[in-house]
Amino acid sequence: MDLLSRICTAVLPWILVAQVIIIKECQTATLSTGENTTITIKSSFPKANCSVCVLKDKQSSCSFELHLQPRENRIYSFSCPEPHKFFTIEISKNTVCISNFYSTEVKELLSLAFPKFNNTLIWNINFSENKALVLDFLGSGLRQIKPTESCPDHLTYSILTYLTAEIQSIGTFCRRGPVSKIQVDKGVRVSLQMSGKEEVDEPDFSMAIGPPIKKCCIIEVKLLPGSSVNLLSPNYPLSFSDDDLMSWMFTVPENNKASVLFLNYTQPNCNKKSERVEYAVAGYQSTIGKSLTDQQLSSIRGNFEMQLENCKMDKSDPGKLSLEFRVEAFNESQQNHFWIDLQKEKGINVTIKQKKVNPNCQICVGAACQPEITLQSGKKTKVIFKDCNLEELGMAVTKDIGCYNWEECPVKEMPLEVPISLAKLPVPLESLTWQLRAPTTSTVVLSPGKAKLKYLLPGDKCREGFYYRLVEEESELGKFCPQGSIEKVQIHSNISMVLIAVDNHSQILEPFFNVTFEKEIAESYIFTVSPELGVMSYLVTPNWPEGMAPLSSVSWKVSVLPGHMVQVSFLNATQPECQQSHTSVSIKGQSSMEEELSRREDELLPEHQTMMEDFWLNMSNCKPEATKKTFKVMCRVTLIEKQDDLIMKIAIGTLSAVLVIVAFIVIISCIMKKKKKKKIQTSIYNPNVNTFFPGHPLFSKGRRDNDSHIYADIDETMMYGQLLRGPGMTPLPEVDVYRPFEGPVGDRPPTPPPLFNRGKSKEFGPEVDVYRPFLGPVGDEPPIPIFNREASMQAVVDSKLYTFQQHEQEAETPGNEDELPLPPADEEKEQNKEESK
């Protein structure tokens, strides 16, 4: 048989006829596909001397891949004796679920698997949008692994879901684990990778249609007593889909409790909402919300559901949401142990105790069990919790930092942080105290690392879930929250700084303060304050609201930004009756020698005080009389812009607006002037001067060329009409009557007056704004202007061509302004008649 196989391998590529004959000896087989089923035979080593051959119409064709469509038959063979070493088989079936149960279809695809070959069986299941697919893993269940890991029996399940255009992996699983069911909301692809070394008779799962779940998927996990399981978020280690949610449902065995521990996670960059985890525990009416950075639930009694919800991620920089966590089940009567390593720590004490009394809870170190334990630094200790709910326990930590002389004092910019071994302990941190012991004649300097401080006033809460207390030996300096305006605190004594956790927030694990020991200061306390624009900063005296310690002092060093000023408002002040010394409230500029404000206990404080530069706000207490009022002051510091700068900005804005308006008016004026220049000029007739009609064609004749000044005929009635008029009648001017000139003749002829007179005036001038039509002849040429008036008048006298003689004296006819004046001769006759009467 081996000889025949080698002959087949050598002869097949060369002789087609012989190939058809010998194929029967090379393990030929018939391969058929059913409805909605495809089969792909593909070489994993294309360079190997092994191919798959198909016989069709007595012809054979060989290649490294064979693909069969649904309802297709092929006669095939391999050109090598051990093809299972070079080829893999992929069998895929598309199924549309209508009924409720599909176990037969799972077995049908399994029957098509090739023995000895590495097979991949794929079920593509589609179903109605308002339904969900339930994958029930019968028998031993599944165990989830990372995509890079492999199963020991080489039998791997991969489950994917279709989310619109993308495919998201629900997870990769091996056989024999606590995962019993997986419900998927969208279309599902289930793939089963089988090694040729393992023979599989049953697929170990069934498919069914269930009600809608309205989330990506639900993974049901059955915990075994005392067992643990590691689980991963969908698409791990890539990101869980944007703005989506899924959940795990855990079944906790009887007499067992469960705890959740996050092993690894990444957070996305959110635009809306935030990623979160919610727990729904049996017996609780409301859910319990946690962030990824919070301490998760422990000692959970009964079944519970854990839901993971992603936010609306930033499209430009989404980041990713991934989560790896562990769930442990333990018997209530069994011990739960943790290692606390304090070998590298110095001067630290850890106390673990019950917040609520539980007689069944025992905290054990070795064989000694008691309700409360204390651990010292320099040791690694195994702590056992018996029948304890870790959420009902509390941990208090105290750490000493100090030195006795400057030569042995390395405290400079030392971060104050929670030890790593305690941060991982699933016991809530109640308080962490740093006892700062500086050398004699020195000062403790506290500098916030990431954010400045602000006073925590009575009735307020810190948004961060924790706050700080600064405590002296006899009194409290104050309570403080992050995110304020206090940059630095200087204390002229030993001090204890206590971190108080309210909500077990994860930010307490990060270093927030740096501590430095410096030379002593004259004041008891100095706070460096840098107010921000638009943010009101409240300052209170130490030990508020009880009152300052006797004969103590406090100073605030307030910085003012250039171009701004700070307004100090005194909101609440209580003055004692002093037995010794006086209380003092003063404000002094840092560059000034004089105080801007100074008040004692018997003087009232102003409501406001404004400072234009960096300044000191100083307060000191006296020794008050017993059982009397204490000294305490609350004030508010507000950074605002200077009034001069505001006025200047307003003036500049107003001036800019005026300039814009002026420029607009100038532009409009220029445009109007240009439009006026383009209009046609209009001439005005003035009868008192010699003018000509502009733009008119030339007159065809001049006065010298026509006879317009010579009368051809004169009517007698027109000549003697004045004799027919009776006395008292209004004299009329003679019309068309020629009279020879009888007056004196001199060197210059008299200047004729205007033809018409509209009023009394001693001087005659040209009429203004009066239009009169042109009455002369219209020809091709304009009249020739007379430039020498005297010569022209003399020519007229010599030729005796006067038609009318008019005096310069104005002749006025009452009641009719348009009548013409009388000739001089008739005027004299009329005057003589009047005199004779």
DSSP letters, 497-514, are EEEEESS--GGGGS--EE
CA gap 566, 560 in Å, rounded:
7
Question: In the prediction, which pLDDT does 18 show?
Answer: 30
**Given a cut of 70, is residue 132 above it in pLDDT?**
yes
**Given a cut of 60, is residue 796 above it in pLDDT?**
no
End-to-end CA distance of the chain: 178
Taking alpha carbons only, the member of 174, 157, 148 closest to residue 229 is: 174
At residue 834 the predicted structure's pLDDT band, cuts being 50, 70 and 90, is low
Question: In the prediction, which pLDDT does 142 show?
Answer: 93
DSSP letters, 74-128, are EEEEESSS-GGGTEEEEEEEEEE--SSB-HHHHHHHHTTPPTTSEEEEEEEEE--
Angle at 716 between CA 712 and CA 717, to 5 degrees: 125
Range in 268-277, 328-337, 680-689, 796-805 the model is least confident about:
796-805
Q: Which fold has domain 523-646?
A: Jelly Rolls (2.60.120)
**Given a cut of 50, is residue 763 above it in pLDDT?**
no
Please enumerate in sequence order all residues whose Cβ is within 8 A of that of 542, keeping only pairs 6 or more positions apart, or say none.
475, 476, 477, 478, 524, 525, 548, 549, 552, 554
Alpha carbon separation from 312 to 168, 276, 453, 551 (Å, rounded)? 17, 12, 32, 57
**Given a cut of 60, is residue 775 above it in pLDDT?**
no
Q: What is the pLDDT of residues 53-109, one digit of tens each?
A: 988 877 888 888 888 898 888 888 888 888 888 899 999 988 877 666 555 567 777
Which residues are bridge partners to 415 per DSSP? 514
Taking alpha carbons only, the member of 203, 167, 204, 196 closest to residue 184 is: 167
Higher pLDDT, 721 or 424: 424
Mean pLDDT over the full length of the chain: 77
Which residues are bridge partners to 585 per DSSP? 599, 619
Residues of the chain with CATH 2.60.120.290: 104-331, 523-646
DSSP letters, 136-171, are E--TT-EEEE-TT---TTSEEEEEEEEETTEEEEEE
Q: What is the pLDDT of residues 732-748, one digit of tens each?
A: 556 566 666 666 665 55
Please enumerate in sequence order all residues whose Cβ is within 8 A of that of 676, keeping only pairs 6 or more positions apart, or say none.
none
Question: In the prediction, which pLDDT does 493 show?
Answer: 81
**Given a cut of 50, is residue 116 above it in pLDDT?**
yes
Residue % of the chain over a pLDDT of 70 = 73
**Given a cut of 50, is residue 7 above it in pLDDT?**
no
- 402, 365 Cβ separation under 8 angstroms: no
Cα torsion 479, 481, 486, 487 to 10°: value is: 120
Q: What is the pLDDT of residues 173-204, one digit of tens each?
A: 998 899 999 999 878 899 999 887 777 767 67
At residue 229 the predicted structure's pLDDT band, cuts being 50, 70 and 90, is very high
Task: Write down the architecture of domain 104-331 according to CATH.
Answer: Sandwich (2.60)
Question: In the prediction, which pLDDT does 370 show?
Answer: 82
For residue 352, which amino acid is it?
I
Q: What is the pLDDT of residues 586-596, one digit of tens each?
A: 999 988 888 88
